[in-house]
Structures are given as structure tokens and as C-alpha cells.
Structure 1
């Protein structure tokens, strides 16, 4: 189902949290949006600005976040199982205790990204650059991940 950002925000404000499989208009701006606990599984969020968005505990399972911005976004305890993040901006992004099992993360620059306590089983990292990135065990990574 294709919906606009305005419709998504109106429905969210009205208490709806289930947006499974939605397709948002590319280049839409959801920066600073509060989408905590929203069900956005299997959605297409390609080319969406989610900078500073609150996606805490959101269900983003199998969601396509490619070419989007998650700069300073809060994805604490979010479910990103099987999600696709290709060329996604991940500076200062919080993935603490998030489930990224089977996610595909490619060509991303991860600067001060926080994965502390995240589940990264079978997560694919391809040609990602890390700087001051906090890994799931609390260690700091400053090297490329291939």
C-alpha cells in the first residue's frame, strides 16, 4: 500500500501502529518523527530521511532502508531482522539491543554508531567503514568491515 508521509503521521497520531508493507514516496522527510513501537515490517522506506527519528522498539523486519538517512536515529530494541541497509547514512545511530539478525548492511559509513548489546547473528556487513563505532560487546571499531 502506497501512502504519503502526512498520512502515515496522521494515522500514527491517531493511535495506529501497524503499517506492514507500506511504501512511502521516495525522498520523503520523517526526520524527528516519533515512530516508536510502530510495525513497519516489510515496508519500503528507500530514500527516506529518518534523521533523529525515534524508532525505539519499532518492527522493521525485512524493511528496505536503502539510501535512507538514519543519522542520530534511535533504534534501541528495534527489530531489523532481515532488513536491508544499503548506502544508508548511519552516523550517531543507536542500535542498542536491536535485533539485526540476517540483516544486510552494505556500503555504509558507520561513524559513532552504537551496536552495544545488538544481535548480529548472520548479519552481512559489506564494504562498511567504521569510525568510533561501538560494537555489540562494547568494544570500539575503527576499521573497515568487509
Structure 2
């Protein structure tokens, strides 16, 4: 499907685009910037490198979506389902992710600077080299829930350097400095990542 066709079909009332793939060529031709795609179903879609600046994806189903190197700067993703999404090198600067579901996402090298994140955080997410400077949630909501932390930049600009799984309770703010840091061998990381997500996103 081309980007132009997706936009036309959405405007005509269609909402289910599960599993679509947009080629880099088609993405570069399409202009998604600032358009409304509220409630769209893009489960498992490949939107790598898509220019989605300011797009409104409120309540969108983005389960398992591939957004590698995509730009969602200033995008609206309120209540969006990003469960098991691939956000590798994705730009989410100042995006609004209020009440979004982000557990089990791969946010390796993702940029969340200044983003509004879910007030309850997320769990079992891969956050290697992710940037959370100036986000709306405190450090302890990032360092919890078996999230994989490694060279991860925290809201205050400090960096968690060593690979670790962090498992602090969501209401355990008073124990932020005792948040159950568990250093794990680097050799274990790759095998851990490969099994971090559920095998099926369509069930």
C-alpha cells in the first residue's frame, strides 16, 4: 500500500490497516505530517522511517508496529496501544503518550525528550540507550517493572551505565535509591532480548 492510498482510504472511513507495509519510497512521497489518524488499526504494520511529525494517533492500535527510525516528534498518541512495538531509533521528542500502553516495547536508542508518558509507566521494555530527559514521569517509573536499562538517560540527565533489570513497585517512590538493581552479564542480554516479546501480536 502506498502512503497516499492509506491517507485516502482513511479519509473515506476505513480504519483497519493491520499488517500493511509502506516502502521507504512510498513513505517519502506521502505526507502524514499533522494529519488525524485517530482510532486507526496499524497492528504489525511496517512504518520504518515514516515522517509522522505531529500526527494524531489518539486511541490507535499500534500493537507490534515497526517504527524504526520513524519521526513522531510532537505526535499525539494518547491511549494508543504500543504493546510490543519496535521503536528502535524512533524520535518521540515532545510526543503526547498520555495513557498509552507501552509495555514490552523495544525502545533501543529511542528519543523521548520532553515527551508526556503514561503516568503509570511501562513494564518489560527494552530501554538500551534511550533518552528520557525532561519527560513527564519520574525516574522510578522508568526503573521498574523488569525494564531493561543500559546506558539509559534518565529524566534528570543522569545515565544508568550498566546493563540491569530493574524491578521496583509502581508505588515505591520512597525507595527509588533501593530500586532492586540487578546487574546481569552482557552475554545474557542478547538471549534475553530475543525472548522479551510475545511471539504473536495478532491473537
Q: TM-score range by the shorter chain?
A: 0.7 to 0.9
Pairs within 5 Å for 1:60-139: 60-112=67-119, 114-130=121-137, 134-135=141-142, 137-138=144-145
**Cα offset, 1:5, TM superposition:** 5.1
Residues 20-48 of structure 1: per-residue CA shift (max 9 Å, x gap): 43143322111111100000011111110
Q: Distance in 2 between matches of 1:52 and 1:94?
A: 10
Any stretches of 5+ residues in structure 1 without a counterpart? Answer: none
What is the aligned counterpart of 1:52 among 27, 41, 59? 59
Any stretches of 5+ residues in structure 2 without a counterpart? Answer: 147-153, 158-203
Instruction: Give 3-state SS (helix, strand or coil) of 2:7's partner.
Output: helix
Size of the aligned set, in residue pairs, is 143
TM-score by length of 1: 0.82
TM-score by length of 2: 0.61
Instruction: Give 3-state SS (helix, strand or coil) of 1:6's partner.
Output: helix
**Cα offset, 1:105, TM superposition:** 1.1
Give the equivalent residue in structure 2 for 1:38. Answer: 45
Instruction: Give 3-state SS (helix, strand or coil) of 1:63's partner.
Output: coil
Instruction: Give 3-state SS (helix, strand or coil) of 2:132's partner.
Output: strand
Instruction: Give 3-state SS (helix, strand or coil) of 1:7's partner.
Output: helix
The answer to which structure has the higher strand fraction is 1
The answer to which structure has the higher helix fraction is 2
**Cα offset, 1:144, TM superposition:** 4.5
Change (3 A) 1:73 1:145: farther
**Cα offset, 1:16, TM superposition:** 6.1
Change (3 A) 1:24 1:115: farther
- Tell me whether 68-77 or 18-27 shows the greater mean CA deviation: 18-27
Q: Distance in 1 between matches of 2:108 and 2:131?
A: 9
